Amino acid sequence: MTRALIVIDVQESFRQGPRWTSVSVPDIAARVGRLVEAARARGETVVWVLHTETDGGPFDPSSEFVRLIDGLKTLPGEPVLTKTTRNAFTSTELQRLLTVAGIRELTVCGIQTEQCCETTARVAGDYGYDVEFVTEATATFPIPHRDAPDGRSWDEIVADPRTLGTAEITERTEYALAGRFATIRTLEEVVNR
């Protein structure tokens, strides 16, 4: 099989703190789970990626949160990579793993739509992979305006009319990727392939 499903950062770290109350896709684990089961049934490689930061927060490997969101499980032999960069290539052996396996097609899903997922799709496109981006199986959070004052509560950030909403973020990602770095696919298209 020449296709791999890349599951990016669907980890408990994101569920810590107030941002999770505004996540664009609260059932992200179930959606990703559907993609994982379909990929496994077709004999495709499933690669799990987790983000880490050594800052003592919820992304720190010393915390209990750098693990898959409850409901998702790896199978023996499925690679689990940890990264320290926005994309899944730069700080991992993902490129080597895919090359050795002869994989040329990638399906990307995970958290955050416009950060780690989009950046991974862009890098993969530049590396010559045929990339599918399943937006419905990515999740993101509102983004405060760049000039917003520091120290505001999450409720204040969400209420600010200058805060970029999740629908706008998702749409912008699709515009940026489509026809350049990836093909946008629906969850049903990929599951029922």
> Rounded to the nearest 5 degrees, what angle is found at the Cα of 24, between the Cα atoms of 68 and 182?
80
Nearest CA to 3 among 43, 30, 37?
Answer: 43
Phi and psi angles of residue 133, each rounded to the nearest 5 degrees, phi first: -115, 115
CA atoms of 126 and 82, how far apart (whole Å): 21
Phi and psi angles of residue 181, each rounded to the nearest 5 degrees, phi first: -115, -20
Q: Considering 116, 121, 139, 182, which one is annotated as catalytic? A: 116
CA atoms of 183 and 190, how far apart (whole Å): 11
Question: Does the active-site annotation cover 116?
Answer: yes
Nearest CA to 78 among 4, 165, 15, 176?
Answer: 4
Q: At what angle do helices 166-177 and 118-126 cross, to 10 degrees?
A: 0
Nearest CA to 10 among 29, 35, 27, 30?
Answer: 29
Q: What are the catalytic residues?
A: 116
